[in-house]
């Protein structure tokens, strides 16, 4: 039976769930940044942390009726949802009209941070009336309706219609086709006969909203500060420069008389009205702040694009993992065999999966921004600007002074590759063999000190590339950032694995398709004609002949073959059969593809 609490069922409304969860996450972001989290509480500073704890329970209770109205799929629920959506939308629009530019972090932050809220409420304000009109036109019907039945039928037809396709001989792909296929793997293209589960749709939606909120906060909290630094020096900077030995002019940034007198006693006198940037290697005044702003914005845009690309790639991997588990290929997804049945850990992982996805996306974007901003600033001021202006750079000085060291490492690596190719390998008929083993030992000993330095450079590169890889892929929960032996210590990947167990065991499309077929009302059979008792008595005296195989027997045979075909391609359904459910020892024992 339909219930208001069944909004997260697989056949629930995707648009309503995604909109309400995005609304709740936006409220959480505003809660963390606001000193007065509860709207009903009078603004009396300072706010106690207890009020924020209460707000964590207040906002879910506030938006729960907005989502629960979509659960029953009844005209009364749609009418109540329409009134609630219009009320929330009107209240937020009135609040934004009263104070559109609240000076919280930036005068535009309060307005821009409410954009996901207004979009979600606008979607709900249009979705509920549309559902209400459709319900009024078609009617709710006297009996319970089975939603999602069309998708499961399409999935069943897509599985049963697959035939053995003869694979064509693989040709060598060109570089452009490889690049094109690699880029296409990061774009999720919907396929007929498969639908992403509702929980994954909600997870990706809240992750995108979280990326927007964090990017907006990073943009409006840092860029105005860089502009302030660009406008002029502050009093603290003057004191710091006096301590370092550089004295700005007497009127710079409102320096006091004592600070100016202390500056005049410094080692390096600076004439009045001379900009600070004149004494750096950078020739233009304010170039540091200008290039820092450009680097910051470019790195933020790059981080947002990378995070969204990783989320789309995770959708592709979700689909492939679910398909593999639907077919019983457990070892294609997990490193070891798992029993796909619900448990305490799997339910906890299923509950927190969407929340983990939003939190990991936020932290991943923040770490990427710090790394890419520092790298872009270092590259700009150590490489780009010195090359453009023709001035010296500390990086160029290090390279110039240590060129024999770098040349030695490069030559050592090249010599090892050349010797390995020409002297230490001998091509036989089918494979290569090692030759000149004595010379190989001597070269290994002679190049040992040099290879230690090469190994040190390789270790630095390993740290850099692993840090970049983990920072970029932190938002993806479908892969583990740890080794396969230690992947259980990865909380994000563990939550994803537990989510898959619940999803496959409870929402298998073939299992639901067969259940819907069983719930269909049977066709009414025509009434049997009246029997002749005298004819029946005569037939009893005759020897009965074995009945010829009729239409019912053909149907039964065909159905058994379809069951065998389905179980062959979906071994995970074996544990759900009647014979397996009746035997506790056999239930759940099927972990992978059955052995012949």
Work out the mean pLDDT of the chain and round it to a whole number.
Answer: 76
> What phi and psi, each to the nearest 5 degrees, are found at residue 82?
-65, -45
Average pLDDT, integer, range 78-98 = 85
For the record, the structure tokens of 265 come out as: 């006693």
**Is the separation of the CB atoms in 155 and 510 below 8 Å?**
yes
**Is the separation of the CB atoms in 200 and 495 below 8 Å?**
no
pLDDT band at 99 (very low <50, low <70, confident <90, very high): low
What does the alpha-carbon distance between residue 154 and residue 202 come to, in Å, rounded to a whole number? 23
Q: Assess if residue 202 is contained within a domain.
A: yes
For residue 579, what pLDDT is reported? 61
* Whether residue 130 sits in one domain with residue 219: no
**Is the separation of the CB atoms in 25 and 206 below 8 Å?**
yes
The closest alpha carbon to 158, from 185, 207, 194, belongs to 194
Q: Assess if residue 169 is contained within a domain.
A: no
* Whether residue 237 sits in one domain with residue 98: no
Q: Which residues, 6 or more positions from 451, have their beta carbon under 8 angstroms from its beta carbon?
A: 412
Which phi-psi region, left, alpha or beta, contains residue 245 (left: φ > 0; alpha: ψ -120 to 50)? left
Q: How many domains does the chain have?
A: 2
Q: Assess if residue 68 is contained within a domain.
A: yes
Q: Assess if residue 223 is contained within a domain.
A: yes
Output b/e per residue, 448-463; b: 16+ Cβ within 10 A. Answer: eebbeebeeeeeeeee
Condensed to tens digits (0 to 9), the pLDDT of residues 467-505 reads 999 999 999 999 999 888 888 899 999 999 999 988 888
- Last residue in a domain, options 489, 519, 549: 519
* Whether residue 113 sits in one domain with residue 202: no
**Is the separation of the CB atoms in 246 and 266 below 8 Å?**
yes
Better-predicted residue by pLDDT, 525 or 98:
98
- Last residue in a domain, options 519, 538, 553: 519
* Whether residue 91 sits in one domain with residue 10: yes
pLDDT band at 13 (very low <50, low <70, confident <90, very high): confident
* Whether residue 207 sits in one domain with residue 95: no
The closest alpha carbon to 504, from 375, 323, 373, belongs to 323
What does the alpha-carbon distance between residue 319 and residue 160 come to, in Å, rounded to a whole number? 19
Condensed to tens digits (0 to 9), the pLDDT of residues 136-188 reads 887 654 444 555 567 777 777 777 775 544 444 445 567 777 888 877 788 88
* Whether residue 238 sits in one domain with residue 124: no
* Whether residue 417 sits in one domain with residue 306: yes
Quick check: 102 pLDDT over 70?
no
For residue 356, what pLDDT is reported? 93
Cis check: omega of the bond before 391, within 30 degrees of 0: no
The closest alpha carbon to 16, from 60, 64, 76, belongs to 64
* Whether residue 229 sits in one domain with residue 84: no
Q: Assess if residue 480 is contained within a domain.
A: yes
What does the alpha-carbon distance between residue 34 and residue 43 come to, in Å, rounded to a whole number? 11
* Percent with pLDDT over 70 in the chain: 71
What does the alpha-carbon distance between residue 342 and residue 186 come to, in Å, rounded to a whole number? 31
Better-predicted residue by pLDDT, 216 or 553:
216
Q: Assess if residue 212 is contained within a domain.
A: yes
Torsion angle, CA of 33/35/41/47, rounded to 10 degrees? 140
For the record, the structure tokens of 22 come out as: 């995005």
Q: Assess if residue 371 is contained within a domain.
A: yes
The closest alpha carbon to 25, from 233, 154, 203, 210, belongs to 210
- Last residue in a domain, options 504, 519, 534: 519
* Residue-range definition of the domain harbouring residue 125: 1-38+48-137
Q: Assess if residue 479 is contained within a domain.
A: yes
Condensed to tens digits (0 to 9), the pLDDT of residues 38-55 reads 766 555 555 567 777 888
Quick check: 584 pLDDT over 70?
no
For 107, half-sphere exposure in the C-beta direction (CA atoms, 13 angstrom radius) is: 2
For the record, the structure tokens of 384 come out as: 């780009």
What does the alpha-carbon distance between residue 18 and residue 24 come to, in Å, rounded to a whole number? 10
Quick check: 28 pLDDT over 70?
yes
* Whether residue 347 sits in one domain with residue 216: yes
* Whether residue 235 sits in one domain with residue 357: yes
Q: Enter the pTM of the model.
A: 0.75
Tell me which DSSP letter residue 381 carries: I
**Is the separation of the CB atoms in 504 and 340 below 8 Å?**
yes
**Is the separation of the CB atoms in 106 and 221 below 8 Å?**
yes
* Whether residue 382 sits in one domain with residue 312: yes
For residue 284, what pLDDT is reported? 45
Q: Which residues, 6 or more positions from 283, have their beta carbon under 8 angstroms from its beta carbon?
A: 389, 391
Condensed to tens digits (0 to 9), the pLDDT of residues 241-291 reads 445 444 344 444 444 444 444 434 433 344 444 344 333 444 444 566 677
Condensed to tens digits (0 to 9), the pLDDT of residues 407-458 reads 999 999 999 999 988 888 887 777 888 888 899 899 999 999 999 999 999 9
CA angle 236, 239, 245 (to 5 degrees): 140
Q: Which residues, 6 or more positions from 543, have their beta carbon under 8 angstroms from its beta carbon?
A: none
Better-predicted residue by pLDDT, 297 or 515:
297
Better-predicted residue by pLDDT, 146 or 14:
14
* Whether residue 78 sits in one domain with residue 214: no
CB atoms within 10 A of CB 71: 20
């Amino acid at each position: 039976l339909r219930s208001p609490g069944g909004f997260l069922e697989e056949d629930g409304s995707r648009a309503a769930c995604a909109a309400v969860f995005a609304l709740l996450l936006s409220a959480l972001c505003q809660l963390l940044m606001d000193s007065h989290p509860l709207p009903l509480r009078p603004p009396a500073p300072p706010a106690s942390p207890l009020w924020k704890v209460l707000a964590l329970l207040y906002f879910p209770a506030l938006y729960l009726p907005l989502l629960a109205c979509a659960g029953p799929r009844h005209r009364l629920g749609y009418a109540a949802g329409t009134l609630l959506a219009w009320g929330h939308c009107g209240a937020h629009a009135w609040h934004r009209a009263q104070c559109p530019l609240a000076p919280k972090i930036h005068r535009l932050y309060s307005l821009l941070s409410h954009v996901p809220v207004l979009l979600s409420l606008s979607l709900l304000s249009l979705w509920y009336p549309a559902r209400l009109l459709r319900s009024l036109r078609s009617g709710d019907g006297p009996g319970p309706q089975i939603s999602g039945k069309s998708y499961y039928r399409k999935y069943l037809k897509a599985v049963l219609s697959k035939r053995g396709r003869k694979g064509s001989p693989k040709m060598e792909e060109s570089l452009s086709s490889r690049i094109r296929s690699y880029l296409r793997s990061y774009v999720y293209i919907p396929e007929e006969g498969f639908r992403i589960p509702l929980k994954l749709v909600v997870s990706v939606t809240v992750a995108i909203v979280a990326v927007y909120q964090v990017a907006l906060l990073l943009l409006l909290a840092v860029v105005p500060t860089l502009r302030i630094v660009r406008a002029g020096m502050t009093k603290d900077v003057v004191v710091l420069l006096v301590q370092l030995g550089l004295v700005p002019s007497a009127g710079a940034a409102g320096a006091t008389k004592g600070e100016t007198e202390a500056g005049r006693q410094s080692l390096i006198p600076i004439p009045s009205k001379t900009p600070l940037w004149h004494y750096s290697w950078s020739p233009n005044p304010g170039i540091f702040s200008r290039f820092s702003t450009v680097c910051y914005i470019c790195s933020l845009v790059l981080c947002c694009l990378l995070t969204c690309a990783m989320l789309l790639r995770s959708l592709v991997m979700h689909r492939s993992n679910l398909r593999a588990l639907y077919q019983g290929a457990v070892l294609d997804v997990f490193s070891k065999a798992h029993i796909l049945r619900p448990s305490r850990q799997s339910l906890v992982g299923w509950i927190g999966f969407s929340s983990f996805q939003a939190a990991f996306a936020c932290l991943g974007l923040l770490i990427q921004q710090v790394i890419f901003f520092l790298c872009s600033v270092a590259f700009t001021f150590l490489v780009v600007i010195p090359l453009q202006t023709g001035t010296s750079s500390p990086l160029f000085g290090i390279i110039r002074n240590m060129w024999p060291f770098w040349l030695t490492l490069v030559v050592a690596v090249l010599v090892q590759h050349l010797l390995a190719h020409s002297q230490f390998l001998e091509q036989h008929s089918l494979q290569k063999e090692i030759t000149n083993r004595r010379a190989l030992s001597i070269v290994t000993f002679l190049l040992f000190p040099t290879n230690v330095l090469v190994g040190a450079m390789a270790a630095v590169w390993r740290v850099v590339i692993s840090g970049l890889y983990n920072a970029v892929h932190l938002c993806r929960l479908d892969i583990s950032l740890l080794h396969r032996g230690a992947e259980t210590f990865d909380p994000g990947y563990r939550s994803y694995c537990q989510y898959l167990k619940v999803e496959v065991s409870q929402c298998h499309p073939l299992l639901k398709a067969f259940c819907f077929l069983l719930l269909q009302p049977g066709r009414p059979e025509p009434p049997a004609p009246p029997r002749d008792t005298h004819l029946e008595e005569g037939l009893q005296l005759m020897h009965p002949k074995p009945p010829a195989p009729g239409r019912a027997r053909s149907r039964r045979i065909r159905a058994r073959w379809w069951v065998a075909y389905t179980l062959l391609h979906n071994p995970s359904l074996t544990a759900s059969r009647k014979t397996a459910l009746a035997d506790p020892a056999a239930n759940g024992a099927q972990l992978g593809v059955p052995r012949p």
